[in-house]
Every structure is written in C-alpha cells, then in structure tokens.
Amino acid sequence: MNWFKAKTIHFTGIKGVGMAAMAGIALDQKKTVSGSDTDEVFPTDAWLKTTKAKIKVGFTPKHLPKKCDLVIYTGAHQGVNNPEVVSAKKQGIATLNYAQALAQVAEKKALIATAGVGGKSTTAAMIATILETAGAKPSWAIGVGNLQPLGQPGRWRQKSQYLVAESDEFVADPGGDLTPKFHYLKPQVAVITNLEHDHPDIYPSLNDVFASFSTFVRQVEPNGVVVANLDNPHIKDWLKTIDRPVLTYGFSALADWQIIKNYTAMEKQMFSLRFKNMVYDGLVLNLPGRYNLSNAAAAFASAHYLGIEPSLITKGVKAFLGTKRRFELIADVNHVRLYDDYAHHPLELNAVLAAAKDWLPGRRLVAVFQSHTYSRTKAFLPQFVASLLTADVVLVNDIFSSARETETLGVSGQVLAQMIRAKRSQVYFAPGKAATLSRLKQVVKAGDVILTLGAGNNWLWHKDIIKLLRQL
C-alpha cells in the first residue's frame, strides 16, 4: 500500500516525535488518523490533543480501526512484533515503519534533510521557518513536540515544492529492519551538522558512523548538494571521501559560509556571514550558543542554495523562536530560571552548558542530568564527566534505559556522579524526582539557572520544580 492511496492510517506509537510529525502530514492530507501509545506523557501530547486524531492507550489489535488501509509503526514498542502490527499483517492490512513512510512522502517533493549528532532538529526547523517566511509554503516533518513560530511538527501542502525533514541515523526497527532510517531518503539538500560516535549498540566505532553517513549522501540527487559543518573535526576527515558537491559552513576561515562578527546582547545573538565576496550583515538569532549560530549558518546556506533572497532569509532567521526541549525556557520564578534541553550526548551537553553560561553571564548554573541508555553512558563515561564540569552544581539522576536494553553494563547514575564529584564538590546523586526536589530545595538560591538535561523523563518534573521555586 502506498501512503498516498491510504485513506485511513493507524499509527502504532503515535506520540513519538517523528510519528506525530507524520500524523500531522496525514491529517493535512485529509486522511482519517488514529493511533495508540502508552499513557506516559510525551512532548507531543499537547499538540496531538488539538487534532482530530483518535488516540487510545496501550497496544492491542482492538485498537485498529475498521477499514484500516495502512499501519505505520515505530521501532519502539516492539516494532514489527507489536501486537497491532502482527494483527494488521494477519488481516492483510499494509504496514510501513516510520522510515519507509517518510521516504514515500518525500518522493513527492524536493527534500531538504538534516542529519548529524546534535543540531538536526533545530536546523530543520530553521530552514522550514525561513522558507515559510519567504512565502515558499513548504511541507515539513520535524521530530519535536512543537516549533515556533510554525506550530505543528508535521505539515503538508499539496502544491509546495519542498519538504524539510529531520533524518536519523538510527535503525528503522531494531527488532526487524536494521536499515538506518536516513538510508531510505534521497535528498536534494543534505545538511550534516556534526559527526560523532553515538548509538554504540548500533555503530561499534566512529568509522561505522562515517560509512553510514557516506551511504546517506551518496543518495543525494545528482543536482543536489551536501551542506556540512567544517568546524566539526570528524566532518573535515569524512568530507575527503565524499563525491557529491559540498558547501561548508562554520567559524573556520576555510568554510564557504563563514560566521563572522558575532556577539551576544540582551539574550540575542547578532552575527554576519561571509560567502565568496559577499558579506551578509544584520543577522539576529533569538537562540543562545555557538552551536545555534552554526545551525543558522547551515539554514542560511541551504536556503540560499535553493534561491531564496538573502533579505528574506535574514527575516526568517530572526523569526525563528526555537523548538520544544531545545534550550526551552520553562519558567522564571523568584529570580530563578528553569530551562529544559534534550541534550544527551557529551557534545550536546558541552554546547548547551557553554551557551547557558554565555546567554546568562554571572548566574550560577544548576544542571539536572539524566543519561539515556546504559550503552551510551558506558561508551562515553569520561566525556560525560568532562562536559558536566561546566555546570556549577550537578545533580545526576538514574540512567533512563532503553526498552531494548537488558544489561546495566556496570554503569549507573551513581557511578557517573561519583566520577564527577572527584573533580567538583557540588555534585549529587539524585536518583529520581523526590531526591531531585529535595536536593534542589537545599542548593538553589535566587539568581540561579536550573537546566534539566537528557532524553529521559526528568522534564516531566517541571511542575513540581516550579512549585518548589515558588516556596523559596
């Protein structure tokens, strides 16, 4: 079954950020959409509640709608072995995993796909905002709960020329389809934000990551381009093996698009870009950090390649206000700010903590970090220690494990906390919400900035943290 022929689509695991984006596209195409998921709170919940999608809790064949044409499933929740997917196959209902579905949708448009460890969601959202501001009316599928000012994570316009999509190097379904998700795509523009060793359970070494990304860019359309971050040392090496046209960006003087004259003031970043003999001045970014300047440069370069006027690109960069779980301001209570960020790799932690220091100078930074997966924690334990030393106070939660993991590999949140404490005094192991609230009550004072970090569930504790701050 082709996605476009289906009239009724059921999403198994609809609350996942990528799946919700695809549900948004289906709804824009006037399809009847249903879905199922756990009763856990997801970043997509608020948006999904505003839609016509009928969502049920749990996974059972009973949740499949009558006259269902297509079931889309995620690699989570048992993937192809989920009882809903198994039942659909037995009934002769067509099934596609998320990556296959996105690939079918992308065939109808000129695809701008972002990939890399850190920055791909934000860069995709920036590109979509620029195209929207310029009047190009793009479609998009971006794995965040919400993005501002665009709103919904997935959008389809029948007459739009472009689809902007966040693409992922993780496998489509660990229990069935081991194809990296982005290998299904054939982009016109492929943006590579960073190359780092990640997902060690899938990629044993950095060379394996290189090989996977090389396969991805070989699928760039013959008249397309690779837009790559030259400041990332691994990308410098990797680019030597690429046989597609390349545009580079970054702070490096060797970059095609060079970031120049940047400074921060009043919680804005002002910067300029140099490309060939032209300098584009007056750029304003409402997000912190060098990494977001790099993301903005990638977005500018991509839009310029597509023929968007520089003045309209500049307007679009300024219009972008960020996405959910990316340095998101949650509250400002009693002179204490609470932010949240999805950073879960040492590279991302380094970037966001440095950004917070620059954005809010002179304020004490209290990091509440929940590492995601035992395999990642074990593989990058020394790097996690080094990255978290940027914070003034560190609270380490229990590791948030993946459903596919069965072993702790000898690591824990307590082990990580002890290793950081050997180098910094104000470090505490706070396994869960209760311990975190108790410790925050002891250590937080007026002027502090609290930042919840990680791909786990500590972002769900915000209401309780805010209640605590009101009592200070």
- pLDDT, residue 325, reads 81
- pLDDT, residue 448, reads 96
- pLDDT, residue 389, reads 94
- Looking only at the bridges linking them, the beta strands covering 70-73 and 268-275 are unpaired
Q: Is 348 helix (H, G, I), strand (E, B) or coil?
A: helix
Tokens 């690699």 found at: 75
Angle at 250 between CA 246 and CA 213, to 5 degrees: 45
- Give CA–CA dist 268/457, Å, rounded: 29
Q: What is the CATH number of domain 109-321?
A: 3.40.1190.10
CB 271 within 8 A of CB 293: yes
284 burial (CB, 10 Å; 0-12 / 13-18 / 19+) is: middle
- pTM of the prediction? 0.86
- pLDDT, residue 26, reads 98
Q: How is domain 3-98 classified at the architecture level of CATH? A: 3-Layer(aba) Sandwich (3.40)
What pLDDT digit, counting tens, does each position of 179-220 carry?
A: 999 999 999 999 999 998 888 888 899 899 999 999 999 999
Q: What is the pLDDT along the chain (472 residues), one digit of tens a residue?
A: 789 999 999 999 999 999 999 999 999 999 999 999 999 888 899 999 999 999 999 999 999 999 999 999 998 889 999 999 999 999 999 999 999 999 999 999 999 999 998 889 999 999 999 999 999 999 999 988 778 889 899 999 999 999 999 999 999 999 889 999 999 999 999 999 999 888 888 889 989 999 999 999 999 999 999 999 999 999 988 999 888 999 999 999 999 999 998 998 888 999 999 999 899 999 999 999 899 999 999 999 999 999 999 999 999 999 999 877 888 899 999 999 999 998 888 988 988 898 899 889 899 999 999 999 898 899 889 999 999 999 999 999 999 987 777 788 889 999 999 999 999 889 999 999 999 999 999 999 999 999 999 988 999 999 999 999 999 8
- pLDDT, residue 118, reads 82
Longest pairwise C-alpha distance within the chain: 63
CATH class of 328-470: alpha beta
What pLDDT digit, counting tens, does each position of 225-249 carry?
A: 999 999 999 998 899 988 899 999 9
- Give CA–CA dist 194/41, Å, rounded: 30
Cis peptide before 245 (omega within 30 of 0): no
What residue type is 451 in one-letter code? L
| DSSP string covering 261-321 | EEEEETTEEEEEEEETTEEEEEEEESS-SHHHHHHHHHHHHHHHHTT--HHHHHHHHHH--
Q: Where are the domains of the chain?
A: 3-98, 109-321, 328-470
58 phi/psi in degrees, rounded to 5: 95, 175
* Close Cβ partners of 86 (under 8 Å, ≥ 6 residues apart): 61, 80
429 phi/psi in degrees, rounded to 5: -90, 120
What is the number of alpha carbons within 13 Å of residue 42 lying toward its C-beta?
A: 22
